[in-house]
Chains A and B, each alone.
Chain A
Amino acid sequence: MGDWDWVITGDSPFSPGGCLTFAKGLAPEEMFRAFDLDPSSARPMTPEQVDTDPVLSTAGYEEGPQWIRVAEDAGWTVAIEFIQMKGEQDNIALRLAATTDVVCVSFNAKGFGTVTYLREGGVVVSFGVGQPYETRVGREPGFLDTELRAAGLVTGDLFTGGELVPALELLTERFGVRLSRERYAEPLPTAYREHLYRYPLPGFPPRS
């Protein structure tokens, strides 16, 4: 079984839907702040604990508390969203990209998702998974073509769509982003907010 096969074997961040937002070298506290969450409110929780938590278990897609779990692995910090996709939908990934490299992967119950690589405040390349037609957009739509071709997602010049797991594997290969099943299952710092995302966030992005 490959590094990412586990995400399609059951309730993972992507089953039936969710979002992973990776930021290179970012402190976990800053990841919480990027999602408009108070890092001091974070407490360690497993996915199972979240599922039975009286507050977090009431979270909907837009309704209810907005929450993330944060993990660190291989020099990247990842915000894990289940069902929700604030990293993608609320431009949080883009704002993070003002200061560091960002990889954002979302997938939803309709059976498709989006992979985006961001750097220097912009989208370098973004493409769809489960979308069997040309979807590459961004500053450099061909930026990942070597990897996409190796993964079988590009044939000749034709983007052929693809599946979630090969797309994640090529991201690991190219950028080193990871999230193992074991890490995902660990108690990870978890925080939530009841208010809507404030846009733009005061003081964000953080200045180094």
Chain B
Amino acid sequence: MLAARKSTVRKRTCAVALTLMLVVFSVAAVPAQAQQRPPTASDAAAGAVCVAENAHDKLCVRKGRDNARTGPRTTPRVNLAYPPECEFQAGPDYNPTPTRFLSCSDTVWEVFTTTTRPNGVVVVTGWMNLENLQWSRYDRSTLRWEHGATVAVKSGGWGTLENGLDARVFSGCTGTPGTECHVVSSTRPDGELVRFVPRFTYENVWTEEDDGPAATEDTARFEHRNLGVRLVGAPQPDVPAWSFDDLYLVGRCDSRVTGNGNINRGCVNQDFTPTLQLSIAQSGSSAWMVAWAQGFSRHWGREEDGKPLHYQPNYDTGRRIMCGDMVYDEQMNAALSQYTPPDRDTCDEFPFAATYENPANYGGITSGSQCAQGTAVQIPNPTGVLATDWPNTVPLGNPTFTEPCVRAHIPGRLNSSVGGRFGNLVTANRLVDRDGFWIRVDQ
């Protein structure tokens, strides 16, 4: 029996995906001098998926244990430069979602063979550990991405597998049902036959391209949840035909119509939640108001203790409900009229009207007067710079800090400044309906 099990590091949450094929191979003795703890017979019954099997023997594959990476690292001598953000070489953990445009995967696969003796005892007959390091690097302006991978023999190579394991390595975009992508090019041939022997590392970089609905339709998106590599066992003595998939990279491609009739297409790692960074120095009281609101019981969009906000591009009445009964502050308008150019009091709201968390969008309020109220205040000796002169807000009335929203009088250009940054977040990260984002306010 040939089996393999796969080990994922702590940050991984995906389930194992394996493809079953056939079986046949011979029995060999377990090596006595294994450098790392070899699998025991109980491993065969502990979550391994046997991808090849006959009456007595199996070849199984499964993810290794969580601590599998603590063994001797293969640290392949590769020509590829791993994206440092993946943190592949930083210790037992790695980062599967380091940025909006990068997806990473580090998986240890324990491949082993077993046989069942006439007395019913299962004996491990061969063993090899593979470590797959992979990444997909996306671009917000194209449906193509770079997929890099190394497959290294981490340890083992004993018994039935002492002469190596022969396999063809394919991009997951090749022949995997439901992947909706294809290979454009690669540095080594896709499907190349490779012999995995101790100290060997396979490396390849594919250029892959989405061919889901975003490729042909005007406004569409497709979530790739199973990108990576497929290993397909090649015929070799004593090893049955087998294959398994290592498809733990993710990405999402979308298309949208631009104002000039072109189609804008691109891809992101949808599992990464971007952060809108605001600065009181640049956006003054409008940024301050957000920070104040994040101190309320719901901590909207604050990563330390809250939940992300979710972008709602098409909202009808949010601002009308939030701000429709706003009465501008004449004193503030008089003070703002002294600026160059003159500015005005505007209605600022949080959570933003363009989020699902704004209560006007889910029927949580009928008027912005039901929000906690605040107003920007001018410093005693104004400088002429709005963000400097109107740096913070003060409450109007007595907020309970449990209100469903905050509304404040804010100088118009400061309000616009936060709106501009929000727009940049939307565009730069290809936010689509219901995408989450955090907000961080700095000094």
From known contacts A11-B259, A185-B262, infer whether A94 and B340 are also in contact, taking CB-CB under 8 Å: yes
From known contacts A10-B257, A48-B258, A83-B423, infer whether A110 and B418 are also in contact, taking CB-CB under 8 Å: yes
Stretch at the interface among B101-109, B186-194, B347-355: B347-355
Q: Is A135 an interface residue (CB 8 A)?
A: yes
Q: Is B264 an interface residue (CB 8 A)?
A: yes
Q: Are A130 and B319 in contact (CB under 8 A)?
A: yes
Interface centre among B327, B344, B415 (most CB of A within 10 A): B344
Interface residue tally on A, bucketed by range: 35 or more
Alpha-carbon distance between A89 and B324 when the two chains are bound, in angstroms:
25
Q: Are A110 and B354 in contact (CB under 8 A)?
A: yes
Q: How far is the CB of B175 from chain A (nearest CB, A)?
A: 31
- Report chain A residues within 8 Å CB of B343: 137
The one of A48, A131, A138 in contact with B346, judged by C-beta atoms closer than 8 angstroms, is A131
The one of B261, B324, B328, B413 in contact with A185, judged by C-beta atoms closer than 8 angstroms, is B261
Q: Are B341 and A116 in contact (CB under 8 A)?
A: yes
Q: Which residue of B lies closest to A116 (CB)?
A: B341
Stretch at the interface among A13-21, A22-30, A35-43, A147-155: A13-21
- Report chain A residues within 8 Å CB of B319: 110-112, 130-132
Q: Is B426 an interface residue (CB 8 A)?
A: yes
Q: Is B422 an interface residue (CB 8 A)?
A: yes
Q: Is B421 an interface residue (CB 8 A)?
A: yes
Q: Is A172 an interface residue (CB 8 A)?
A: no
Q: How far is the CB of B321 from chain A (nearest CB, A)?
A: 9
Alpha-carbon distance between A7 and B282 when the two chains are bound, in angstroms:
28
Alpha-carbon distance between A84 and B417 when the two chains are bound, in angstroms:
9
- Report chain B residues within 8 Å CB of A93: 341
Q: Which residue of B lies closest to A185 (CB)?
A: B260
Q: Are B258 and A10 in contact (CB under 8 A)?
A: yes
Alpha-carbon distance between A116 and B346 when the two chains are bound, in angstroms:
15
Q: Is A34 an interface residue (CB 8 A)?
A: no
Q: Are A47 and B419 in contact (CB under 8 A)?
A: no
The one of A15, A85, A133, A185 in contact with B323, judged by C-beta atoms closer than 8 angstroms, is A133
Q: How far is the CB of B323 from chain A (nearest CB, A)?
A: 6
- Report chain A residues within 8 Å CB of B297: none
Q: Which residue of B lies closest to A112 (CB)?
A: B319
Q: Is B420 an interface residue (CB 8 A)?
A: yes
The number of chain B residues with a CB under 8 A from chain A is: 52
The one of B260, B327, B352, B412 in contact with A128, judged by C-beta atoms closer than 8 angstroms, is B412
Alpha-carbon distance between A60 and B427 when the two chains are bound, in angstroms:
9
- Report chain B residues within 8 Å CB of A137: 333, 336-337, 342-344
Alpha-carbon distance between A10 and B255 when the two chains are bound, in angstroms:
11
From known contacts A93-B341, A94-B340, infer whether A106 and B259 are also in contact, taking CB-CB under 8 Å: no
The one of B257, B347, B424 in contact with A9, judged by C-beta atoms closer than 8 angstroms, is B257
Q: Are B258 and A60 in contact (CB under 8 A)?
A: no
Q: Is B40 an interface residue (CB 8 A)?
A: no
The one of B256, B341, B416 in contact with A108, judged by C-beta atoms closer than 8 angstroms, is B416
Q: Are B259 and A10 in contact (CB under 8 A)?
A: yes
Q: How far is the CB of A60 from chain B (nearest CB, A)?
A: 5
Q: Are B328 and A133 in contact (CB under 8 A)?
A: yes
Q: How far is the CB of A48 from chain B (nearest CB, A)?
A: 5
**Can you sample 30 A-B contacts with CB below 8 Å?**
A10-B256, A16-B427, A17-B420, A17-B423, A46-B262, A48-B262, A52-B141, A57-B140, A61-B423, A85-B420, A88-B416, A89-B413, A109-B354, A109-B419, A109-B422, A110-B353, A110-B416, A111-B354, A112-B415, A112-B416, A114-B412, A114-B416, A122-B341, A128-B346, A137-B333, A137-B336, A137-B343, A181-B260, A184-B260, A185-B262
Top-9 shortest CB links A-B: A108-B419, A12-B259, A185-B260, A17-B423, A109-B423, A110-B419, A16-B423, A11-B258, A61-B424
Residues of B within 8 A of A (CB): 140-142, 256-262, 264, 282, 313, 315, 318-320, 323-328, 333, 336-337, 340-344, 346-347, 352-354, 412-413, 415-428
Q: A17-B420, A91-B340 are in contact. List 9 more A-B contacts (CB 8 A).
A: A11-B256, A17-B424, A48-B264, A91-B341, A109-B419, A111-B354, A131-B323, A137-B337, A185-B260
